[in-house]
Amino acid sequence: MVIDESRAGEIEIARCQDGKRLQLLPILSDQPLDFGSTFHSDDINFDGYLDFSVVCEFAASGERRSYWVYDPGSQLFVQNELTHELGDWWERTDLDPTKHEITRRYFGGAMGGCPNTGEGRQERYRVNNNHLLLVHKQDFEVEPQSCTVTESDLIGGTMRVTKVRRFDLQGQPVK
């Protein structure tokens, strides 16, 4: 018998009417985790069906999640290009169901942002053919006496700089 030490648990998908098991999804992790407390159900691909994710790895810099989306054709939860792309992220993500966008926020260390402004690095994506499409990017550069925030947006298929703001190290705008 071979023991898969990376298999940390399973998620069972059952039919509500009779409890019949429809799927058994393995959760892989090299760390002991409480999957029940990290389970999130959201419509991550904005198709009108609930999808879900669980934390599969964590570190001081953040957490990484495993994602599954509901496929109405097969009536099963699947992993695809989108779920793999999201699963590679360690940063905090926020879903905006109104705009159909996923925001990725970078925190900590050198990626902390401009001092005293709350302005940091972030990216916004839309789901396009089961892939993430970058539509907005906010980046920053800390200089000896100031910090510059540069925003870019997807315009005509190309990312273009749309706004540049500068702050002193106390967080006040610099002209």
pLDDT at 60: 64
Give me the DSSP letters along 108-147: SGGGS-STTT----EEEEEEETTEEEEEEEEEEEE-SSEE
Q: What is the pTM of this model?
A: 0.81
Give the end of a domain, one of 73, 90, 107.
Answer: 90
The count of domains in the chain is 2
The pLDDT value recorded for residue 91 is 77
Report pLDDT for 71.
96
Give the pLDDT score at 10: 79
How confident is the model at residue 108, as a pLDDT?
46
Last residue of a domain, one of 90, 113, 141: 90
pLDDT at residue 110 in the model:
47
3-state secondary structure of 82: helix
Looking at the structure, tell me whether residues 35 and 71 fall in a common domain: yes
The two tokens of residue 28 are: 């892989």
The list of the chain residues with pLDDT below 70 reads 1-8, 29-36, 60-61, 107-112
**pLDDT, tens digit, 9 for 90 and up, residues 125-162:** 999 999 999 999 999 888 888 889 999 999 999 999 99
Residue with tokens 């999640």: 65
Question: In the prediction, which pLDDT does 157 show?
Answer: 94
Full domain range(s) for residue 140: 93-175
Is there a single domain that holds both residue 107 and residue 49? no
